[in-house]
Structure 1
Amino acid sequence: MNAVNVIDVTEANFQQVMVEESAQRLVILDFWAEWCAPCKALGPILEKLAQEYAGQFLLAKINADEQQAITAQFGIRSLPTVAFVKNGQPVDAFQGAEPESAIRERLQQHLPAPWEGLIEDARQLASNGQVAEALPLLREAYTQSDEQFEVGLILADCLLQLKRANDANELLKGATLEQQLNPQYKELMSRLELMLDAADSPEIRELQAQLAEDPDNADLKMELAVQLQQADRAEEALELMLSILQKDKNYADGAARKTMLDMISGLGKGDPLAARYQRKLFTLLY
């Protein structure tokens, strides 16, 4: 069940908000009024952040004109006034319409970043054996964190568990000299190098040599593509399959098209590589 992000506070639910809710999560009390222009500027910012943080805090809106007893209890003298409450006690407050950046800084002092929740959800999925389902959450966390190195390491670990060596390599190769001293980075690179070595099999090298001598042989391309896909060289495999279909959309009575679709599906929902080649295939076919 999803947590409520925003509520209007009255005397009927004030005690529940202050006692029960603030014991479970941060509560942000927003004292406002209809006639208050700064309140109208601040309100949408707070509501936007409440949605973004997805239940990590409760935005409790208090109409100061309608809830005068609550307003007096807090000693509110100007609007807007915003109070941060934990375990029934104010832990932070400000008056006036602060910019979104300043409010985000306050939230960071009291809450984990939204992307940290994605990482926790991904770890829970991975611990249940759902590593593929964890991958899109970690991709989103990496993006939301402005591609923090530590989050990238978690994502790279997930990619390696899924035998996505090339994707992990792309992620790790940009590490600075200082970041390369990180023990987790060193461990991931060791795993990556072993996986990349294993991906360059004698069978693949033999097929590549044959194709170099007969570059228009679609059967060879298809056989090599399947080998590359199995060795976690998905982009190379998809590019080969696309080259086959560019010459003959119905090659092998549609088997080539089905093979490429299977490869795309195998990458998982939300995978950027899958989305890219799905668009290319759709453009080609339709």
Structure 2
Amino acid sequence: MTEPMNSLMNSPLLTVVDITLDNAQQYLIDESFNRPVVIDFWADWCGPCKNLMPILEKLANEYAGTFLLAKVNADDQQMISSQFGVRSLPTVMIMKDGQPVDGFTGALPEVQVREVLAKYLPKPWEAPLQQARELIAQAQYAQALPLLRQAYDQSNHLAAIGLLIAQCHLELNRIDNAEAILSTIKMVDQDAFYEQLMAQVALKKQAAKTPELSALEAAHAAAPEDLQVRLQLALQYHQELEHRLALEHLLAILRKDRNFAEGEARQSFNAIIASLGKADPLAIEFQRKLFTLLY
């Protein structure tokens, strides 16, 4: 839906505008130096135009101002249509830096329209990634994480973004979460930054070890079948915020004895999951593992 002209001209999030001779220079030429301008030449009598326009408006709103959709009524604005050499309707032109760089005629399906526009538009995940980078530069790691997760999902798990997520978790001393995402990085993407983060994980884990934890690890290594020692080790890991290791040991106990220590292992497992929160990736992962074990 076209926004009122008086609000559009002052809004940085302008998405759709109707073009007249009065605003053509501003929106078709000048604005194209700031972002792509998609010009839709249409007319009331044009059936295909009525099929295409809702698609363009949908994409304009979806991209939320990343590009400007400029609608030109070819009947009312014949001079503009002539200047752009329009010969048939609908005609779509993409303007960048004052020049047409691409376009098409006819009512293409949405998937093809997206393909044309994608060549000239930033990826959806670039904006949240940039915001996250700025927050990281200000050491606001907790605030950066939701933006990084959004960008990570939208980019189909781009490794570079995954490494930034791991970095934030390390800065927040969430070693388990950092390790979890680092374990998903493919060998081809294991660059110098990855090696740096892995080294930080090792250092933090070593520094975090208490005498109690070291003693329990030694006891478990000496008697790996002793479930009571393993339970104590799991609880110590949890106390020292090594949640993944705690859950792994508790799950191993439950595989051998679901009711070990009168259900203490199961209760501890559930308590750790609850402390993480249902939406936490680690909680989701181990809830699934427990479900598979039990059912």
Name 1:254's counterpart in structure 2: none
Name 2:14's counterpart in structure 1: 4
Q: Does 1:69 align with 2:79?
A: yes
Name 2:197's counterpart in structure 1: 188
For 1:10-42, what per-residue CA distance to the aligned partner results, in whole angstroms no more than 9, with x for missing partners?
A: 223212102331122111111123333332332
Residues 136 and 271 of structure 1 are in contact (CA less than 8 Å); yes or no, is this contact kept in structure 2?
A: no
Root-mean-square deviation (Å)? 3.8
1:158 to 168, 189, 193: 168
Residues 42 and 90 of structure 2 are in contact (CA less than 8 Å); yes or no, is this contact kept in structure 1?
A: yes
Distance 2:77 2:246 in 1: 65
Q: Cα gap change, 1:12/1:131 in structure 2, threshold over 3 Å: closer, same or farther? A: same
Give the superposition deviation at 1:95.
Answer: 1.1
My pick for the range that moved more, 167-176 or 25-34, is: 167-176
Q: Cα gap change, 1:170/1:39 in structure 2, threshold over 3 Å: closer, same or farther? A: farther
Distance 1:197 1:213 in 2: 24
Distance 1:166 1:33 in 2: 59
Give the superposition deviation at 1:61.
Answer: 1.6
Q: Cα gap change, 1:225/1:110 in structure 2, threshold over 3 Å: closer, same or farther? A: same
In the alignment, structure 1 segments of 5+ residues that lack a partner are 248-256, 278-286
Distance 1:26 1:112 in 2: 10
Give the superposition deviation at 1:195.
Answer: 2.8
Name 2:147's counterpart in structure 1: 137
Give the superposition deviation at 1:83.
Answer: 0.8
Distance 2:59 2:214 in 1: 53
Q: Does 1:228 align with 2:240?
A: yes
Give the superposition deviation at 1:164.
Answer: 2.3
* TM value normalised by structure 1: 0.71
Give the superposition deviation at 1:172.
Answer: 2.1
Residues 122 and 138 of structure 1 are in contact (CA less than 8 Å); yes or no, is this contact kept in structure 2?
A: yes
Greater Rg, structure 1 or structure 2? Answer: 2
For 1:52-83, what per-residue CA distance to the aligned partner results, in whole angstroms no more than 9, with x for missing partners?
A: 32222111122223322222221211111111
- SS of residue paired to 1:66: coil
* TM value normalised by structure 2: 0.69
1:51 to 58, 61, 73: 61
Residues 25 and 57 of structure 1 are in contact (CA less than 8 Å); yes or no, is this contact kept in structure 2?
A: yes
- SS of residue paired to 1:94: strand
Name 2:133's counterpart in structure 1: 123
Name 1:173's counterpart in structure 2: 183
| Percent identity for Structure 1 against Structure 2 | 44
For 1:180-208, what per-residue CA distance to the aligned partner results, in whole angstroms no more than 9, with x for missing partners?
A: 3x222222222223234444543446689
Residues 122 and 135 of structure 1 are in contact (CA less than 8 Å); yes or no, is this contact kept in structure 2?
A: yes
Name 1:36's counterpart in structure 2: 46
Give the superposition deviation at 1:122.
Answer: 0.7
Say how many residue pairs are matched: 257
- SS of residue paired to 1:114: coil
